Structure 1
Amino acid sequence: MSFYSQDEQRRYVVSFKKSKISKMEAADILKQEVRILTDFKIDDGVSKLSSSIKIDPDQALHFENIGTTIISLSDEDVKKVKENNNIEQIVEDYPVYALGEQHKFKNCENEELFRAGYNRGYQTAMQEVYRNNYPCYNQLNVPSHYNISKQVSDCPPGMHPECINDDPVVEPPVCPPGMHLECVPDVPLPPEDDLQPILWNIQLINANKVWSRVTGRNVKVGIIDTGIDNNHPDISVVDGISFVLADDDNIKTFTNSWEDDNGHGTHCAGIIGAQNNKIGVVGVAPECSLFSIKVLSSSGSGQLSWILGGMGWAAEQKMDVVSMSLGSMVFEADAECSVAYQRAAQELINQGCIVIAAAGNSGEEKFPWVGLPARCSEFMAVGAIDKNKNIASFSSNGPSSLPIDSGVEICAPGVTVKSTWLNGKYKEASGTSMACPHVAGAAALLKQLHPTWSPMQIRQKLRSTAQDLGAPGNDPKYGGGLLDCYRAIFD
């Protein structure tokens, strides 16, 4: 469904050969091919879409830094524009959707058990094959610089095993180099009323084990989604902006409110940065700086042009991390990426921002492949697993022909994840939308620890320290494996 009516010319995203092109030059090229009125003008896309000023449906919007113009065209105009040697790509301004609808199995409990068993069987079978044929398999998941010959198996009451600095250096058992295991006194637990609930998804990725060192403080995280509920007691939002058409699309105005009117964006925000305040839930990076970039409406849908506007604003504001739990399904295994998406992400990368996207929820569909924009190499695609570390049946994956940086790169919890919701509430939801913000939060933790690291260094660290699942090494379903914040920070 498009937000533009059928009797109007359709809106198109036109990317020029030049990755950066001025409004004047873009207008001159388009005027060669398109029947344009004498009062035609191109306005800046980011500023225009984020204003509440009425927009003419035929008005062209330009994104100078990514060499792209949004314009209404007839079928005849489209043919002419495609033939122009100055044009790199033209695609319709297609719908984009939130990827976090509550996942429900179609039949009864037996089917859910069957699917869970199938997923466990896939993982176990692949591991068994490698164990039987490759004697070194059992050491594959242990870093080569770790020593597994020594163990601290039991500690007396009131003590627990912990890595202790060595001096001189002694090779440790599954501890970072220069540390060894010793029994040390337990830290007395605070009264039950003072405990922050730490849910299974946060524990599964070991996020709570790194907060003594990093919490994401002062790292700017942009959530490109349905907005964020700024009144939620578990969330603090620094600032926000909206690129969404007002509910009454007959007047063609854009709302300037970045408040969430759907719930999806608030849920993702809580996974990333819900505060460690002894109530509700806590996020992966509880002290990061959250920014609400609203590009999806109350129905959870938007247009490609709105997403580009949000990405452009994130680049202007110099975000450190961008989380995008949204996308569109592809219908061909080798579907190409939108040039505009790629350039918008590259602009963020050039500003030092890592871009993370949900892989998609089409795993059970006829077209199960990683969707857009996640399959574009500039985005880090995230798949979803459940609390038993099994791949979620809905998690988009493959095809296996995709390069590592275009397929699923890493996976994180995405099944029945509890997080913040509208009106101060909490809700469980499933989808790769829920997996994506876990990785975004982990990226914020790394950025705090290594503020000078490039987006690619952070991306590679997250991938290389993931817990291998499925077939050894990278595979289409799990990517590099389960996100592991502890290894990412301390390895």
Structure 2
Amino acid sequence: MTKIRLVICILCTCIFSSLSAQSFYSDFRDGMIYVKFVDEFPLDKISIVNKNDTKPTTRIAKDQFPFLEKIFQKYGVIAIHRPFTIYENPKLLRILQIEFAEDSKIEDFINDLKSFEEIEYAEKIPFERLCSPPNDPLYGTVNGGDMKWHLDMIKADSAWKIQTGSPNIKVAIVDNYVWGNHPDLQIDSVNLCQVTYDSYAGYNYTLGNTAASPPSSYYTQSSNNNAYKASHGTHCAGLVGAKNDNNIGIASIGGGVTLMGVRAASDGGTLLYTYQGVQWAVENGARVVSMSFGSNHHIQTIETFMKVLYDAGIILVASAGNQGEEGNPEHYPSEYPGVISVASVNGDKKLSYFSQYGIRADVASPGGFIKSRATYPNVLSTTYCQAYILKSRYTSLQNTFYDGMQGTSMACPVAAGLCGLMLSQDSTLSPDEVKRRLMLTAQPLHSASSTTINGNGYIDAYAVLTFKELELKDTLLLSAASQSIDTIKIRATHDWHISNIPSWLTVSDSVGSKGYHTIYISANESNTSENHRETILDVNMGDITKKLHVIQLNYELYLTASPTFIRFSGKRDNADTILISSNMDWKIINSATWINVDKTLGNGSDSLFINTKSANSWGYNRLCSLLVSGINFMEELIIIEQRIPDFIRWETTSTQIDPAKDDNVAIRVLSNVNWTLTGGDSWIEANLNAGTDTMEVVFTVLEDNTTGEEKSTSFTVSNENISKTLLVIQKQDLSISSLSSAEDIFVYPNPVSDYCIVQSKDSKIETIKIFDFTGRLVHTYHPTQDEIIDLKNISKGMYFMLITTNNQNTIYRKIIKQ
């Protein structure tokens, strides 16, 4: 490979991200939190404001959550946004970012939110910091200046003979800034992005040649400390994929992949938009994301976001952190499941002194010094500034845009570049497989390394690109019955085939290609002998052969569960028992967050204790399933229903009825149980004396009221545990008009799409309340004249409108939202 080899000596410095002043928590953002609604919360109750505008927003209307109205007022909520929308993942869509004014009360706000059953969690949002080294870069005399040591260490020259990188594979560097116009990078403008935020629109994404670059008003491209700090992301980009064989500057492990650069920092250098930058990169084609930043705080929202990307096949690579000499604390995002955590190793195969270690990392990569922190160079790469650290030692670097840095920030992009090569060779590799191969092929650390990473070593580019493996389980059991069937999983790096298949077995696929395959194996006949029937199958891949022992038992397997349907009331801690009858191993698959099961694995016959973890507050009966799964595709499905808590109520506590005989009024009983109706008087009758669930009761006057005064009576609707009373008042004489008549209050159009008009003929309307079919208050209006009611943000369905006039009459109208 033709490259200009730059030989320089080392002088290192510390890069710190400049954080804006914080009033209350130095590690967390003021006035902003993440809030996650439980998975059962209806998504149609969290809708985007102006989602059809030409410039879309992520803003959520505050009034969509009437049950949180008081708490929002208490803490001065300014804006609500959806921070993550990728793949329209339902868990992410239930996560909101809330901006509020009462900064000093952030802990109180979080605790108050946690008291609502609708809220799964609320948490502060930490600042991310660049994983750059401590400010003690030079110890002793510099001896030598091999600036490609990090590539030689991972056997890059040999790896490049196999794979140099495909432009179809995009690797994103999400960092403070990335100077995409660097002569050794030349990142396409459509792959350069700046992320910003404002309270109204939410997160904005700007593309262009200079979008990701440091702002020129803050940083000049001269040889100075500020520009050197601003070069962090540009340095990482060069380590991932500076162009190879272009007679310019340096080489990189992934020089043939396509780079993406995302600016996640404010003008002053504070990392504010890292994960929104990750989201943009993935939405625009990134297969690998390099994240040389982090914090010491676990954030559930970000763990969920990382898992969504991992499940979608995105390779997430993060620096393990540079606090190895500061207690080796937890570090994120590197420690989230599904993220490849990269420690830093020196050229002497010892972990760098600053690198975090042990359980904090999965694998190491060159990111320190050629031999130790005292003697040899660190890692050379592209920069936004002219050489600042190394120019005094190596005059050839003066006025060039290359410099040395060290840290797990540098180890991370080297590993990410190698991941890009792996996908270039085989784009079907999953995140698990990439991580697994990196770890299996890693070279061992030096035995004298003062810290280790749980037996794992540092990356070997050549070994991982020539990796060969054939993996499957060694034993398969089948029931004695004919057509009993089960599966094996084959993981292979090359083509394979199965041989020695006996006539009493059928194998769904006897040949296959690289990747992960599910093979079905079934018995063609029953085993009626006294002994088990056995055979050995050979699974062959080139010079590798694995044995599979297949046993057809001399007895039949069985698995049953009882009952298979359970109905709970709406209360918390309802419990029941499930009896399992079986002669095999089994496991329980439970996808519901509101059901607790006392065991998840078992063997043979056993019992399960299940209980509801929370009351059902959703206004509809909720369902979930438990799957009892055994071998040979034997399974039992158990359906569990939790009703909403028992309720009975009138849609109003009192009503008026006109004084004439045969006048009537209809009032709804809102309920989900059987009920009876009692009470009343000789001058009035109800058309029902019992009912089930929600029903309309019609009260009819039996005689004219000629007493000259009002009459009143009450009706009680009840079951064994609940009772609610309705007061009925008959007006005093026939001269009083009935405001409840249809002519006096008009609601139109009905059905309604977005808006409806409520109009009174003779009286002033004081309040209008909208209730859903369960009786839950959805919205309250206080009109000053004929009211235009905005119903855009409520879901489709039937609602009740309670209208109160200035003479305290109440009128109900049913409306249909379509």
Q: TM-score, normalised by structure 2?
A: 0.41
In 2, the alpha carbon distance for the partners of 1:451 and 1:268 equals: 23
Q: 1:71 aligned to 2:98?
A: yes
Cα 1:10–1:461 shift into 2, 3 Å: same
Q: 1:358, 1:383 within 8 Å by CA — same for their partners in 2?
A: yes
Letter in 2 for 1:10: G
Q: Does 1:328 align with 2:321?
A: no
Paired with 1:347 and 1:318, the residues of 2 have a C-alpha distance of 15
TM-score by length of 1: 0.67
Structure 1 residues 9 and 484, CA gap change in structure 2 (3 angstroms): closer
Choose between structure 1 and 2 for higher RCO, CA contacts under 8 A separated by at least 6 residues.
1
1:2/1:468 Cα in 2 relative to 1: closer, same or farther (>3 Å)? same
Is this contact kept in 1: 2:351–2:445, CA < 8 A? no
Please identify the structure whose Cα radius of gyration is greater: 2
Residue matched to 1:240 = 192
Does the 8 Å CA contact 2:238/2:381 hold for their aligned counterparts?
yes
How far has the Cα of 1:31 moved from its partner?
A: 5.3
- The residue that corresponds to 1:269 in the other structure is 237
Tell me what 1:418 maps to: 380
Give the corresponding residue for 1:83. 115
One-letter identity of the residue aligned with 1:325? S
Q: Which residue of 1 aligns with 2:458?
A: 482
Equivalences for residues 113-128 of structure 1 within 5 A: none
- AA in 2 matched with 1:84: F
Q: Distance in 2 between matches of 1:253 and 1:5?
A: 21
Higher helix share: 1
User: For residues 126 and 205 of structure 2, what CA distance do their matches in structure 1 show?
Assistant: 20
Q: Give how far 1:16 is off.
A: 3.1
- Give the 5 Å matches for 1:148-159: none
8 Å contact kept, 2:171–2:258: yes
CA distance in 1, matches of 2:119, 2:452: 33
Which of 48, 61, 72 is matched with 1:35 structurally? 72
**Residues 11, 70 of structure 1: 8 Å contact kept:** yes
Check whether the contact 1:315–1:351 (CA below 8 A) recurs between aligned residues.
Answer: no
What is the CA distance between 1:6 and its match in structure 2?
Answer: 3.5
Q: Deviations over 1:159-192 (max 9, x none)?
A: xxxxxxxxxxxxxxxxxxxxxxxxxxxxxxxxxx
Shift in Å, 1:105:
5.2
Q: 1:253 to 1:449 in 2, by over 3 A?
A: closer
Q: Which residue of 2 aligns with 1:397?
A: 357
CA contact (8 A) 1:223 1:323 kept: yes
Distance 1:214 1:21, change over 3 A: farther
1:349 paired residue number: 310
Residue 128 of structure 2: aligned partner: 96
Give, in whole Å, the separation in 1 of the partners of 2:323 and 2:268: 19
Further displaced range: 276-285 or 35-44: 35-44
In the alignment, is the contact (CA less than 8 A) between 1:408 and 1:479 conserved in 2? no
282, 288, 298: which one aligns with 2:251: 282
Query: Cα distance 1:390–1:41, how it changes in 2: closer, same or farther (>3 A)?
Result: closer
2:284 aligns to what? 317
One-letter amino acid of the counterpart of residue 224, structure 1: V
Paired with 1:21 and 1:355, the residues of 2 have a C-alpha distance of: 31
Distance 2:295 2:161 in 1: 38
Which AA in structure 2 matches 1:316?
E
Counterpart of 2:158, as a letter, is: K
| Contact 2:169 2:420 (C-alpha < 8 Å) held by counterparts | yes
In structure 1, the partner of 2:329 is 369
1:329 CA drift (Å): 3.1
How far did 1:93 drift?
A: 1.9
Distance 1:414 1:471 in 2: 19
Task: Give the SS at the match of 2:362.
Answer: strand
Counterpart residue identity of residue 423, structure 2: K
Query: Structure 1 residue 45 and structure 2 residue 83: aligned?
Result: yes
Q: Is the 8 A contact 1:66 1:347 kept in 2?
A: no
> In the TM superposition, what is the alpha-carbon distance from 1:339 to its structure 2 partner?
1.4
Does residue 109 of structure 1 match 2:119?
no
Distance 2:40 2:153 in 1: 41
TM-superposed deviation, 1:381? 0.6
- Decide whether aligned partners of structure 1 residues 204 and 298 sit closer, same or farther in structure 2, where only a CA change above 3 A counts: farther
Correspondence list, 1:185-334, <5 A: 199-217=148-166, 218-238=168-188, 239-244=191-196, 256=206, 257-260=211-214, 262-276=230-244, 277-297=246-266, 300-303=269-272, 306-329=273-296
Counterpart of 1:434 (choices 394, 397, 410) is 410
Query: Relative to total residues, which structure has the larger strand share, 1 or 2?
Result: 2
Q: Is the 8 A contact 1:13 1:68 kept in 2?
A: yes
Question: Which stretches in structure 2 are left out of the alignment for 5+ residues?
Answer: 1-17, 47-59, 216-229, 369-377, 386-399, 468-818
Distance 1:3 1:413, change over 3 A: same
* Cα distance in 1 for residues equivalent to 2:325 and 2:91: 39
Measured in 2, the distance between the counterparts of 1:65 and 1:288 equals 30
Query: Does the 8 Å CA contact 2:34/2:122 hold for their aligned counterparts?
Result: yes
Give secondary structure in 1 for the equivalent of 2:128. strand
Alpha carbons of 1:221 and 1:255: their partners in 2 closer, same or farther (altered >3 Å)?
A: closer
Change beyond 3 A, Cα 1:409–1:479: farther
Structure 1 counterpart of 2:260, one-letter code: F
In 2, Cα distance between the equivalents of 1:314 and 1:283? 21
Q: CA RMSD in A?
A: 3.6
Q: For 1:353-412, what per-residue CA distance to the aligned partner results, in whole angstroms no more than 9, with x for missing partners?
A: 1101001011111x32241111112211100011111111110124xxx4xxxx310001
Judging changes above 3 Å, is the alpha-carbon distance between structure 1 residues 31 and 428 closer, same or farther for their aligned structure 2 residues?
Answer: farther
